[in-house]
Structure 1
Amino acid sequence: MERSSLEFKLPDTHEEGKLYVVDSLNNLNKLNVCPAESQHEEDNTGGTGESMAGSHASNQRLFLVTFVLTLTVSLALVSFVIFLIFQTRNEVDQISSRLLSEKKNIEELKKLNNIILKHLNQSRIKEKNSAYS
């Protein structure tokens, strides 16, 4: 005789535990072997199958709403980050252009300073020469 995949060798347990395990195996066997009978039992118990299907559909709707909401929030955050990147780049460009113009101004001031120092040195040399004469 073939041995069913649901038959187990039960370990030594108390009688109540054995009865519970056997009952559980019988219920599992009924679900696997006789799905039509379990459907009739669900119909007789007051439509628990319908409530389970309704809760399953409700869970799917809840998952879908949560998923769409998460995607929307993620899209908003990514858009905000891209906006901040562009703003930062614009600010860095403005600061760079200011620094370049300030660098040019500083170089011009150095040139003017050198011209003034040369002129002062030449005028002092002339004053010293006129004082010796």
Structure 2
Amino acid sequence: MLADSLPHALESLRFPFPALAALAGRLPLGGGREVALAALMTARLARGVLAGDALQPGDRATRAAAAKVWLASLALPATTRVPFARCIDATTGTALPVAGALRSLIAAAGGHLDGPSVQELEKLARQLAGA
């Protein structure tokens, strides 16, 4: 790899949710885009529970509280609002409840997302369930 041949080179960073970010970027303003943005935010919060990326519980609680305020400002379909809020609340705890809440969120919001975005969320749920 390039980093091996250059001892002072930094490793390339890989954004964990490129499909969600791309979907949010290409959708027009309105409900679909806001669902994609909410899913991206929720996925980022959920990732903070994973062992390799775990944040301190106090930091996760602060992030979740701020995310819920932001979530309230979005024009989300009524069927997705509660699953998003529950998933965000779950990120203050351990990985297994977050995995379950994320799966419920996928069931509620999956119809508003494209295939690659749903796959990213499902992969994250599997990682959380295995943590």
TM-score using structure 2 length:
0.25
Return the structure number with greater relative CO, CA threshold 8 A, min gap 6: 2
Bigger fraction of residues in helix: 1
